[in-house]
Amino acid sequence: AQSVTQLDSQVPVFEEAPVELRCNYSSSVSVYLFWYVQYPNQGLQLLLKYLSGSTLVKGINGFEAEFNKSQTSFHLRKPSVHISDTAEYFCAVGADYGGSQGNLIFGKGTKLSVKP
Amino acid sequence: NAGVTQTPKFRILKIGQSMTLQCTQDMNHNYMYWYRQDPGMGLKLIYYSVGAGITDKGEVPNGYNVSRSTTEDFPLRLELAAPSQTSVYFCASSYSNRLAGSYEQYFGPGTRLTVT
């Protein structure tokens, strides 16, 4: 079975500062990983994904994440945040059964609050 | 493409009432999912379907039922509503085939349900 832990429930930062949202996972098989963003009163929107290949993945809105297999981590980063990045961010992990997918397991979310 | 649509957006139910949450996708995805989201708890999978006529339980199926008669539609039925079912419900869909591009899930805008 897979599990995912988002290490911070809330992250306050000032505008134009860098931010890192942490995500650790556990799995006995290969995984694929996602970061989703949820703006208030909306559904989840995909930020970026790791399926295979390069461990550094770039997503929308200037976000990137690095897959670290030895640390079982998939931390999300942005070098300079904007007020509009204020939202809740979810890390999700799924098992890769080599052509078929397992269901996604979501973390509990990290609320990013960007202050002027 | 409309993507994933859900109706209604909001609903208040009395204890013991029943209702159906509607979900439709126009992306010809064969996988569909129902999640509930409670504050600070992330998303929990209620039921999922890998194709028309095939459904299976997720992590929290008690008190819910689903059916999948077409590729496009995946309604969620609540029988005998209870206060514990107060939540935000999200429907999602995805491809199942790695060659199709990804395993990412596309989410609807959600239904906010209150049971009193």
Write out chain A's pLDDT in tens, 116 residues.
789 999 999 999 999 999 999 999 998 888 889 999 999 889 999 999 998 888 999 999 999 999 999 999 999 999 999 999 999 999 999 887 766 666 889 999 999 999 99
Q: Which amino acid, residue B16?
A: G
Closest to A50 in 3D by CA, of A37, A31, A63, A77 = A31
Decide if A54 touches B, using CB distance below 8 A: no
| Closest-approach residue (CA) in chain A for B33 | A103
H or E stretch including A24?
strand A23-26
- Cβ-based burial of B113 (10 A; exposed 0-12, middle 13-18, buried ≥19): buried
Mutation choice for B interface testing from A34, A46, A101, A110 by most B CBs within 10 A:
A101
| Closest-approach residue (CA) in chain B for A111 | B40
What is the distance in angstroms between the Cα of B107 and the nearest Cα belonging to chain A? 6
Closest to B42 in 3D by CA, of A33, A2, A89, A21 = A89
Cα B49 from chain centroid (whole Å): 10
Residue A101: per-residue pLDDT: 64
- Asked if A42 lies within 8 A of B110 by C-beta distance, the reply is yes
- Asked if A108 lies within 8 A of B102 by C-beta distance, the reply is no
CA distance B47 to B34: 5
Cα A59 from chain centroid (whole Å): 10
